[in-house]
Structure 1
Amino acid sequence: MSERIGLFADLHSNLEAYEACMERAQELGVTRMAFLGDLVGYNADPIALVDRIAELVQSGKAIAVVGNHDEAVFKDYSQRMNASANAAIEWTKSQLNPAHVQFLKELPLIINEEEICFVHASAHKPSEWNYITDSMSAWQCVQSSGKSYTFVGHAHEQALFYQSAVGKLIRFAPHPGDEVPVMGHRQWVGVVGSLGQPRDGNPEACFAVFEPEISALTFHRVPYDHFKAADKVRRAGLPEDLANRLITGK
């Protein structure tokens, strides 16, 4: 069976979305997983998410990189995040034990394999958490990674940037479920979307699957009980706008 890499980003402590995506990934025959940062923040199940991902990483079934919300657990981000994000981080800190924090602290900023780069925000100055939203930011990313394929999260909306004949990176809006041929002679940046807090007006969770042997990338959307996840946010005493975001997908 050929390798199928599941790409998951911005999980943000959303257990309901995570479990729905893991079930779909299994149905799709995913053979290993890459978690592209922001395991925690915003939502109400940080312990469950960190426990599950730590187990997958330690068993060799997955790799993971750190995101800015993960780093905010052990660094002072109070001046770098909005009030709701800060409130969620402070609450998350109160939930996690030292082993959870240590796991997040030990996650690398970036992982490079033969033709693939995995990073949360951008391969260009990854510790500055720059968003990939246009041709220039995508071009800077591939120039820094030097790989055919760079997979990122952070932006919360699915997108694919590909290298044109003149070298410019062009944005493409993928349609969920459609297999996109991504030939290795070009450079590609796949923004896999947010599993735990989508922001494109669709509350369904996002992830993607990359098949290196056939040079194919497929973006997916997965329905889940987002009302239950939102209710957990409210019951945890987290800001109301974080619950509303799960319901509206905005």
Structure 2
Amino acid sequence: MTERIGLFADLHSNLEAFDACMEQAKELGVTRMIFLGDIVGYNADPSALIDRIGELVAANKAIALLGNHDEAIFEDRQARMNASANAAIEWTKGQLNSMQVQFLKELPLIVKEEEICFVHASAHNPSDWNYITDSMSAWRCVQHSGKTYTFAGHAHEQALFYQSAVGKLIRFAPHPGDEVPVMRHRQWVGIVGSLGQPRDGNPAACFAIFEPASETLTFHRTPYDYFTAADKVRRAGLPEDLANRLITGK
């Protein structure tokens, strides 16, 4: 069976988006799932997301990594988050049981395999939660990753950085559904976008699929019922701007 790795980041307690992406991933033949951090935060179903991802991890069908919002459940990070994010973290703390909190505490910051590095933010000082937004931050990431392929989230928008002939990392804007050749003679940094809170003006959930054998990476956008997700945010008493962001995608 051809290995197809599903890459999901910044799920942010969005059950409707999660279920829609899991269904599409199954249809597309994903064989292994990587959850690149920020399971919780912002939205209204943190317990459900932790439990579902925990089941996949326990069954050896997935790897999950720590994100900064996950860390904020058990470490004080208020100074580094805005008011809405902090409000969602405080609400989330009241929704989780001790086993769910322990699951977050045990998540790794970074996972490296033979050719691939998985991380939430950047392989460059991953605990500092640096964003990969330009050529320099992508270059720092691959220098510390040391791998051909590095996959990350955190930035909430899909992007692909590739190594030029002179070693510079160049940003490429992928088109959803197109297979992008990612040959092993270069180094690559794929930012898979946010499943649970997209910010590029398109509310459809983001994820990507990497196929090592064919050296291809495909970015996807999945429509889902964001009105229901937004209504849950409102009914939970979370900030209105978090609900609106799901509808507008920005």
| TM-score normalized by the length of structure 2 | 1.00
Correspondence 1:106-117 to 2 at 5 A: 106-117=106-117
Residue correspondences, number: 250
What's the CA shift for 1:79? 1.1
Distance 1:83 1:58 in 2: 34
Distance 1:137 1:80 in 2: 19
Please identify runs of 4+ aligned residues in structure 1 that moved more than 3 A: none
Question: Hey, what does 1:132 align to over in structure 2?
Answer: 132
- Pairwise CA RMSD: 0.3
What's the CA shift for 1:118? 0.2
Question: Hey, what does 2:161 align to over in structure 1?
Answer: 161
Distance 2:113 2:230 in 1: 37
% of aligned pairs identical? 83
What's the CA shift for 1:193? 0.0
Residue identity opposite 2:81 in structure 1? M
What's the CA shift for 1:121? 0.1
Correspondence 1:159-238 to 2 at 5 A: 159-238=159-238
Residue identity opposite 1:244 in structure 2? N
Question: Hey, what does 1:13 align to over in structure 2?
Answer: 13
What's the CA shift for 1:145? 0.3
Distance 1:77 1:136 in 2: 26
| TM-score normalized by the length of structure 1 | 1.00
Question: Hey, what does 1:99 align to over in structure 2?
Answer: 99
1:46-66 CA distances to partner (integer Å, 9 max, x unpaired)?
000000001100110000110
Question: Hey, what does 1:143 align to over in structure 2?
Answer: 143
Distance 1:40 1:69 in 2: 6
Residue identity opposite 2:204 in structure 1? E
Distance 1:78 1:221 in 2: 31
SS at 2:94 equivalent? helix
What's the CA shift for 1:190? 0.2
What's the CA shift for 1:78? 1.3
SS at 1:202 equivalent? coil
Distance 1:48 1:105 in 2: 17
Distance 1:220 1:80 in 2: 30
The question of 1:82 aligning with 2:82 is answered yes
Distance 2:78 2:221 in 1: 32
Question: Hey, what does 2:37 align to over in structure 1?
Answer: 37
| Runs of 5+ unmatched residues, structure 1 | none
Distance 1:77 1:140 in 2: 24
Distance 2:80 2:138 in 1: 23
